[in-house]
Amino acid sequence: MKRLLLGLIVITSLQANAQQKSDAKMKTYVDALMKKMTLDEKIGQLNLLTPGGGVATGAVVSKGVEEKISKGQVGGLFGVIGEAKIRQAQELAVNSSRLKIPLLFGSDVIHGYKTTFPIPLGMSCSWDMPMIERSARLAATEATADGLNWAFSPMVDIARDPRWGRIAEGAGEDPYLGSQVAKAMVVGYQNGDLSKDNTLLACVKHFALYGAADGGRDYNTVDMSKVKMYNDYLPPYKAAVDAGVGSIMTSFNTIDNIPATGNKWLLTDLLRKQWGFKGMVVSDYTSVNEMIDHGLGDLQAVSALSLKAGLDMDMVGEGFLTTLKKSLGEGKVTQKEIDDACRRILEAKYKLGLFTDPFRYCNKERAANQVLSEKQKNAAREFATKSFVLLKNNQQALPLKKTGTIALVGPLANNKANMLGTWAVSGNRDLSIPVFDGMKNLGIKEVNILYAKAANISDDTIFAKKVNVFGTRIDIDNRSAQEMMDEAIAVAKQSDVIVAVVGEASEMSGESSSRSTLNIPKSQQKLLQELKKIGKPLVLVIMSGRPLDLNWEMENEDKFEKFKGNYLDVENSPLIPFGFGLSYSSFNYSDIKLSAASLNTTGKIKATVTVTNTGDYDGEEVIQLYTRDMVGSIARPVKELKGFQKIMFKKGESKEVSFTIGVEDLKFYNSNLKFVAEPGDFKLFIGGNSKDVKETTFKLVK
Ligand code: BGC
């Protein structure tokens, strides 16, 4: 054991030496380059533009891009898709600009690149970290084969208000799960080595607290105590930094009334000084300019404020490009501040190997072989299978029998336009396979599938117009609602089972797509009510970018309690507890065995349960560990996720599953923002979701 430890120490110190050497080499290179650069060229590196032509992800696109590249006024581009176009732009940079500095090419590779994987919220529901890491690895392979070197992902904003449309883009509400996902994504994209031609520079976003917009309304103010920030909202960003993420994107919101993009406490004190982040920081789309609307001054003032706060690169707004020289002349920013920002961008380019070969990601052959390859598509299919969540399975209606007649109905049953989900900017919807085609493709002769659209996603034309900004997602049929319903009912009556594919259009979630109500639109609710009356087994396949209010669909039981945190006019207990998900099988948990009744600050406790597959199928179960700190110096959560394992059990199989808990797992930020564990009584829970758990107690002693 000692020898092994010694071996590890030697390897670690060798690695540290190698790192120091390569950092020193990079410094020498960047120093020499910066010596040759004029002030204008340095400021040019801080400028990130989008020439348009792709899917717009903001309100404005950049002008005069080619000329600016030739003049050395651009550090990077995004929204340029495809190897040939990227090569063209890179040629311009390295052939026409004075110092031939290559460009960064970024994109919103959010859930896959051209091969589109399930939306991030769906992926997180798999609780399968190796799979999530693999999805980022595959996305990096495909995107780099097509010329890109920078992904604006992972989005790790904790989101607890499902009205917020961007809840679709992250891992949801939980800091622990969110941190695991953040780490898996960063490792998947960067693979520990940016110098490879199949790894992408990751960009964790939106720093910070963007998911806590008041009222779930996109871009709204965030107002939060530091304790909540540190305990609940910051952990996933921190996990990404600890995993070595190379870049960070600021958020649109304010924090303590200072916009994140110009917030020195956030970008310098916390990110760089406390967390030791060494990569580059980019603004969000014109978020520097938006500080003018926040009342922080004119473009010159907000640009200077952002640079001084620690922002390195300005996305689209060109405030840095057009005002920093003037600000330097007037003593409002320093040369060092400009140099530091420029250095960090050049370092990212150096790490990506762009100075060695600016065209290393432009490889026609790789693009032809790896983009939308069979390997990618098979993975997408596997990821989709694993991110479905089964909420209810009365009378074992699922899995469907491989004989008989299925009525496949609903506006999303045969709908290519919505299959990719939100934020699939490089995906081609026409290539997607809707449920109807997928079912037919199985080619099961004994199954007869009858299809009817049955309803529009929504009948509301004004609503549809707002959702359809990127193309038709809500397609309002020429037929009347009654005609469609009649057809669906006729089809349903001829079937053995009805499968209704309902929910949200893809752009009912995503950026600038907040909703005030979480229901399935009325047109579809009506459909479900009519289908239910037929009395045949009814399977709902729900597609959405957010948790929906499924009270009617799930037949919830109301538990109102006076003088508790209830609403009067809606059901109160969560319809589905955090961590819930059925499989075709069922699982039994034994009581928890602890290796000891207490632990001290250097010790560990092992908690073990025996889990048995008691159903008729092999199946996977996500075994979850929660703790509760019974008495604290601040109010503590009633349950905190501390660990999980996703394990396959054969039919009838039992396995012992153990978790080890140490003092680190019991720490939290107290009111002085110290990360502490407080001695005392704890509860420990293990189960298949946060509600149905086995429970025991232990003590933390000094
Ligand atoms: C979004 C970012 C995105 C950027 C570039 C912004 O509107 O907030 O998440 O990365 O556009 O497309």
Quickly tell me which residue has 């406490």 as its tokens. 265
Among 503, 532, 554, where does a domain finish? 554
Full DSSP string of 488-500: HHHHHHT-SEEEE
Residue 434 and residue 440 in contact, taking contact as beta carbons nearer than 8 Å:
no
> Shortest CA distance to 166 belongs to which of 176, 174, 175, 156?
156
Q: Are residues 130 and 211 in the same domain?
A: yes
Q: Are residues 597 and 489 in the same domain?
A: no
Q: Domain containing 645 — which CATH number?
A: 2.60.40.10
Among 368, 402, 426, where does a domain finish? 368
Please give the Cα distance from 453 to 367 (Å, whole number).
Answer: 37
Q: Are residues 321 and 420 in the same domain?
A: no
Q: Are residues 122 and 247 in the same domain?
A: yes
Q: How far is the CA of 285 from the centre of ligand 1 (A)?
A: 6
Binding pocket residue ranges, ligand 1, CB within 6 Å:
57-58, 108, 152, 205, 284-285, 511
Among 333, 368, 403, where does a domain finish? 368
Q: Are residues 134 and 241 in the same domain?
A: yes
| Per-residue model confidence as pLDDT tens digits over 386-415 | 999 999 999 999 999 999 999 999 999 999
Count of domains forming the chain: 4
Q: Is residue 562 part of a domain?
A: no
Compute φ and ψ for 97, nearest 5 degrees: -80, 150
Domain range for residue 608? Answer: 587-700
Beta strands at 654-662 and 668-669: parallel, antiparallel or unpaired: unpaired
CA-closest residue to ligand 1 atom 12: 57
Q: Is residue 373 part of a domain?
A: no
Q: What is the pLDDT at residue 229?
A: 98
CB neighbour class for 14 (10 Å; exposed up to 12, middle 13-18, buried from 19): exposed
Reduced to 3 states (helix: H, G, I; strand: E, B; else coil), residue 589 is strand
> Shortest CA distance to 283 belongs to which of 258, 255, 260?
260
Q: How far is the CA of 109 from the centre of ligand 1 (A)?
A: 11
Catalytic residues: 284
Q: How far is the CA of 206 from the centre of ligand 1 (A)?
A: 9
Q: How far is the CA of 44 from the centre of ligand 1 (A)?
A: 21
Q: What is the pLDDT at residue 14?
A: 78
Q: Are residues 41 and 174 in the same domain?
A: yes
Pocket test for ligand 1, best of 207, 281, 285 (most atoms within 8 A of CB): 285
Which residues in the chain land under pLDDT 50? 1
Q: Are residues 486 and 408 in the same domain?
A: yes
CA-closest residue to ligand 1 atom 6: 285
Q: Domain containing 324 — which CATH number?
A: 3.20.20.300
Q: Are residues 69 and 190 in the same domain?
A: yes
CA-closest residue to ligand 1 atom 4: 285
Q: Is residue 375 part of a domain?
A: no
Could you identify the atom of ligand 1 that is nearest to the CA of residue 206? 9
Q: Is residue 382 part of a domain?
A: no
CB neighbour class for 94 (10 Å; exposed up to 12, middle 13-18, buried from 19): middle
Q: What is the pLDDT at residue 4?
A: 53
Q: Domain containing 528 — which CATH number?
A: 3.40.50.1700
Q: What is the pLDDT at residue 571?
A: 79
Q: Is residue 578 part of a domain?
A: no
Beta bridge partners of 314: 47
Q: What is the pLDDT at residue 55?
A: 67
Residues 6+ apart with CB under 8 A from 445: none
Residues 6+ apart with CB under 8 A from 180: 129, 239
Q: What is the pLDDT at residue 561?
A: 83
Q: What is the pLDDT at residue 508?
A: 98
Q: Is residue 308 part of a domain?
A: yes
Quickly tell me which residue has 């993975």 as its tokens. 379
Could you identify the atom of ligand 1 that is nearest to the CA of residue 252? 8
Q: Are residues 5 and 45 in the same domain?
A: no
Could you identify the atom of ligand 1 that is nearest to the CA of residue 79? 12
Q: H or E segment at 207? A: strand 201-207
Q: Are residues 546 and 660 in the same domain?
A: no
CA-closest residue to ligand 1 atom 2: 284
Q: Are residues 395 and 362 in the same domain?
A: no
Residue 592 and residue 691 in contact, taking contact as beta carbons nearer than 8 Å:
no
Q: Is residue 628 part of a domain?
A: yes
Q: How far is the CA of 137 from the centre of ligand 1 (A)?
A: 21
Q: What is the pLDDT at residue 574?
A: 84
Q: What is the pLDDT at residue 3?
A: 56
Q: Is residue 566 part of a domain?
A: no
Q: Are residues 655 and 687 in the same domain?
A: yes
Q: What is the pLDDT at residue 555?
A: 75
